[in-house]
Amino acid sequence: MKEICLGFEVHQPFRIKSNFFWDRLDFQSVPKGGLINHYFDQSLNKEIFNRVAKKCYLPSNQILLEQIESYKKNNKKVKVAFSLSGIFLEQCELWNKDVLDSFKQLADTHCVEFLDQTYYHSLSSLWPDKSEWIEQIKMHRQAMKDLIGFEPTFFENTEFLYNNVVAKHIEELGYKGIFTEGVERVLGWRSPNYVYRPKGCKKLRLLMRNYKLTDDFGFRFSARWWEEYPLTADKYSLWLQATPGQCINLFADYETFGEHHWPETGIHEFLRYLPQEILSKEDLILATPTEIVEKHEPVGEIDVSESDSISWADIERDTSCWLGNTMQWAFYRSVVELAPLVKESEDEELLRIWRYLQMSDHLYYMFTAGGGPGEVHSYFSPHGSPYNAFINSFSVIIDFKARIREKIIPSIFPFEFHSKDFNRKVWSLKGLIKAIEYSDIDSIEYYIRQGELKEWIECSLQDYDLAKKLEELEHLSGEELKKNLCNIMVNRYEELLKYQRLIVKPRIVPTEYFLKFSDKARHILRRLPSWNAFWFNKSTGEYTGHYAMSFAEFVDKIKNVDINSIEFHSYRGDFSKWMKDALHDKELAKDLEDIINKGYRGEELRNAIYDVVRKRFDELVRISMGKT
């Protein structure tokens, strides 16, 4: 008897606003709890969710409930499997609880198996540190128990991402099986229609999707150019019957039924009659993933190295769908590198938003290859182009990073705090305070006596006043030392927070405030990020094509930029404002204001500005080199 597993992926993302960059929504004041509405287009997300609920989720669930009920007293039963993302469950609770109730009804039939996955539908399984991935798995497991009333024993990683390391962790978490793609480069001459064992695992079993048979209804069902069009449930069940193997694992996006293929195509009728046609064949039954792996012993071992991870995406069926170009890598790396900062913030809203930014969908929209895969990516994207997806998404990352930095007072490099009770890397002043609170006295005394803490505060936090205050503690020891150190740190942290503005900007001012002369000069001369560059316009909205991302570039541009631009910006106070807010050179800002007050025009104005900025630039270069 050959088992047929019908599995469905159910996920809807929180899409980032497609106008976030273009409408200059970055660095605006946002009330506490308002970041999700600031970054994500919740009106669009709600509209799409309810549309798909009406066309797909509710009618398709009803069809399955009816089919399960009609076979309830038979030996052969209608059985299916679902993998619901945590984000999808959140949207059910937000916008349509009837959808959630319909999945609960499916769970109550005991003929439906629900799988675990990452709560946030993320690529965190690819990170070197697997702790975030495992935490999201545990979150999903709890959500399934709380919202669906089901405790999963089978796992489906985001987008079927799989390798030996993933399998080993899933086995350690106690799952019985895991799904992945039946990729030819991994299988070789073997068939996906059998149970396998992941390399390095003893108990975990592996099921592989038959993507060719899945794509027949997932992608080609309504394709009139297809030689097998129209596809009927009877025809398809005969293909399943003729396919050799222990089990045939079919796994598709649930949106196939009513959204990707509209109801008018007959896709719901296909879903309605497919279970009947399968069960009408003497040698076919429907089974859940766990039932299959409990029944069959593995016929062989599957070996997938971490460097050759597989997925179910596109023709390549690897990670290139999300990490195939530099835009995707830039966004991905930025999200990963925020991990220690977000977690040190201990801010639940920031942690939640950071995890929303991990959704694989954001990277999916940045896919630039053409052909059929490119058309599929474009179909799902709300941004219009992969480049617009990157611009908006990365603008959100920059804005979000600034908000984190405002909360924690970050360092340049971490302090490795070793204690009897714990070892951790500290990335911020806030993180240091927490580490000191939990640390033992011996460790604190060691770092104070050796001067390592003071050195880190000077070099990494660049807070010379705080470092100086540590000298006052050198004569103290024991609990008195710890208490006074905590007080100094907490007071400094609270003092620095007072510098934060209602309208968030990248945190530079508090750091620069404490710099020595040479460091301050180098700080003013640094190259700025793109959002702080000076853009030269002739008038409002009339761009000259020139911009400056550093003091040096500004000096150079002033010599040749259109005189109308110089006059435009001078009398609006833009030059002095940029010097003060972006470069943090208040002295030069004041000098430029004095020039404007003298009423210069034309080339006389240009020459006056150039002379003062060139003189200041040369002075800063000498100071930065330690010269007087």
Catalytic residues: 159
Q: Measuring CA to CA, how many Å separate 146 from each of 53, 140, 370, 535?
A: 21, 10, 42, 52
Q: Measuring CA to CA, how many Å separate 128 from each of 77, 165, 166?
A: 43, 10, 11
Q: Is 260 helix (H, G, I), strand (E, B) or coil?
A: coil
Buried b (16+ CB within 10 A) or exposed e, 47-86: ebbeebbebbbbbbbebbbebbeebeeeebbbbbbbbbbb
CA gap 400, 339 in Å, rounded: 12
Q: Measuring CA to CA, how many Å separate 548 from each of 431, 557, 602, 608?
A: 35, 7, 21, 19
553: Cα within 13 Å, side-chain hemisphere: 14
In DSSP notation, 454-497 reads HHHIIIII--HHHHHHHGGGTT--HHHHHHHHHHHHHHHHHHHH
Q: Is 111 helix (H, G, I), strand (E, B) or coil?
A: coil
In angstroms and rounded to an integer, the radius of gyration of the C-alpha atoms of the chain is: 30
Supply angle C-alpha 243, 302, 211, rounded to 5. Answer: 40
Q: In 3D, which of 469, 427, 434, 420 has the Cα closest to residue 448?
A: 469
CA gap 16, 480 in Å, rounded: 50
Pairing, β 301-302 against β 197-198: parallel
Q: In 3D, which of 318, 250, 230, 240 has the Cα closest to residue 79?
A: 250
State which amino acid sits at residue 284. L
Q: Which long-range contacts (CB under 8 A, 24 or more apart) does 424-432 make?
A: 425/340, 426/344, 427/340, 427/341, 427/344, 428/341, 428/344, 429/461, 429/463, 429/489, 429/492, 429/493, 429/496, 430/344, 430/345, 430/346, 430/493, 431/340, 431/344, 432/489
Q: Measuring CA to CA, how many Å separate 563 from each of 549, 575, 588, 600, 607?
A: 20, 14, 21, 12, 11
Q: What share of the chain is helix, strand, coil (3-state, %, to 5)?
A: 55, 15, 30
CA gap 81, 209 in Å, rounded: 13
Does 230 sit behind a cis peptide bond, omega within 30 degrees of 0 on the bond before it? yes
Non-local (6+) Cβ contacts of 578 within 8 A are: 534
Structure tokens at 323: 């990490």
